[in-house]
Amino acid sequence: MGATVMHPTTVQVVLDLVGIFVFAITGALVAVRKDLDVFAVLVLAGTTGLGGGFLRDVLIDAAPPAALADWRYLLVPVVAGLVTFFFHPALGRAERVVNVLDAAGLSLFCVTGAVKALDYGLGPVPASLMGMVTGVGGGMLRDVLAGRVPLVFRGDLYATPALVGAGVAVAGLEAGLHLAVVAGPAAVVCFGWRVVAMRRGWNAPRPAGSAST
């Protein structure tokens, strides 16, 4: 299993690049909506697309991140940023599609992130957490840099599906199943949960009443 992931297959690389592309578009859209310049569009695209993986790699001591050793990982957010820069009105109208693609990216990253953390020797619980970090970290960095409270904190269910998806993948691998068997169902759990939560407007619970300050 380790070897498979250390030398990811073409399918894995393609899925990874697709996930980065979609996340990068959401970052670029935030920059466009704040009327920032083209550089900010590219930086937020790159941060959102690659930030979750960077955070994971630094924390599990896998630095330098894969993205710095493979030019395709850097090219993809640049392309996503430029596409958004020039075609943002169309992307803005297709927000529902962008959101579904974003859920797909989340599903993918929570699984690949957890698997990579296991490969680097982390236990099941920290590995699941690193899967979640891989999925939500880029968006959190995007929001901090754009000067707003991370969207992931604002109600709709985002991180929970990522954590559960990562947990399913980790549980399957720990049970001795092959990655090819485990990855699909784990991603589907995260994706399905996230999409249904969006459609139905599910929210994570909030505290009952505000604290006395």
**Binders in 147-186 for a copy of itself, by CB under 8 A:** 147-150, 152-155, 157-160
b (16+ CB within 10 A) / e for 55-84: bbbebbebeebbbeeeeebeebbeebbebb
Site string for a copy of itself, 122-151 (x = CB under 8 A): xx-xx--xx---------x---xxxxxxx-
Q: What is the CA radius of gyration of the chain?
A: 17
CB of 135 to a copy of itself, least distance (A): 13
Site string for a copy of itself, 60-89 (x = CB under 8 A): xx-xxx-xxx-x--x----------x--xx
Out of 15, 41, 111, 170, name the contact with a copy of itself by CB under 8 A.
41
Asked if 190 is part of the footprint of a copy of itself (rule: CB under 8 A), the reply reads: no
Asked if 212 is part of the footprint of a copy of itself (rule: CB under 8 A), the reply reads: yes
Site string for a copy of itself, 97-116 (x = CB under 8 A): --------------------
Q: Rule CB under 8 A: which residues touch a copy of itself?
A: 29, 31-41, 43, 54, 58-61, 63-65, 67-69, 71, 74, 85, 88-89, 91-93, 95, 120-123, 125-126, 129-130, 140, 144-150, 152-155, 157-160, 203-207, 209-213
